[in-house]
A and B are shown apart, each in its own frame.
Chain A
Amino acid sequence: MNSKQHNKSQDQDTEKLKEIPKWVRKYAQNRTLTIIVLMAMICLFSMFVAALVGFLLALAIAGFKKGNMILGCVGIAVSVAVLATISIFLIIIFSKFGGKNRGLLDQRIDKWIYRKEGTATVPVPKSSKKKICLEILSGVIFFICIFASWHLAIKGYIAYKYLQPVSALYIVPFVVCGWYFWKSPRMGPIYLLYPILYAGHAILIVAGVPIFFTTENFCIFSICLPMLGYGFLPFIIGHIYSRYALKKLKGITHLEGDTANGD
């Protein structure tokens, strides 16, 4: 190798080294497996509660309808007991991981999942009382909007077909603003895939693609399913991207032999 070629390869190495902060930031921003696990835990728990209480109530109603008062009363009593147990369980969970310990559960899951790789964090946006109040207020408004549009659809003011496109009018700005004010730079721009997909879903419905529910009982799923589905997707893509970023990072930083052990 002549000196020019040697200089060129050294220049390339130097430029590669300058990319380290970029890749380490991308890796840290996309460590989303913890969020996926938390979301899956909440979903499974909600489904379990809904199935259990739903089954017990259905049993009680069937008992009352058939005149079997014992079955009806037992069904109601067990439902109440189950709800009480769940409430106690939630109180214990919130007392252990809420308030001052907020974020401890995420931290523990994170440590368990990424125990082999260690931790790298990007700055978390500074929290203030004003910010927390605004967060709670916007969350309340968000849920009021969802329930209002659902109610309007049931009452016939919004066609079932347009329930999801109408919801996109407030969900998309809410998610974009939420990312900009609360999540960035903790989460990378990959999170913006969520509002993009949600808006795309709405556009497809308006264009005539039948990807919505048409019955009163299920119309809320026109909002819930895309919300959950598209909610998971950016985090899964984020996780895959974090693997890629880590591989790139290790490719630049990994030291071997004398370089690793020398001073």
Chain B
Amino acid sequence: MERIPILKMGEFLLVTIQIDMHDRLAMTLQDDLTAQIVKHRAHGVLIDISALEIVDSFIGRMLASIASMARLLDADTVVVGMQPAVAITLVELGLPMKGIRTALDVEKGMLALRGAITEAGKDGDASGIR
């Protein structure tokens, strides 16, 4: 079965969405990612959508629910690399992705996650994985 790979990068998980996602693949990603968060005790998830040419309300909703699920599992999510045309379209569509933290690229996303983890005082916990 087709799957989106989830990479472990230090204390974070990195998901790079590179293909035009169909609905079933999106559901599989939710299952896989939540399992990996628990398995690796990850405190942060980076979702790189720089290769996504569109984000419709289905994919937007999926990103929002991944962020909510991760939050319940004690992990923060940052969506990185959104294309400018996608941002323009999302706002006009009426989906401003409230509650989803974004960053311009993976590097800035990692900085944001580090900041979030330090703020929440999880640093000592995460250092064992680093």
| A and B together in one complex | no
Interfacial residues, chain B to chain A (CB-CB below 8 A)? none
Interfacial residues, chain A to chain B (CB-CB below 8 A)? none
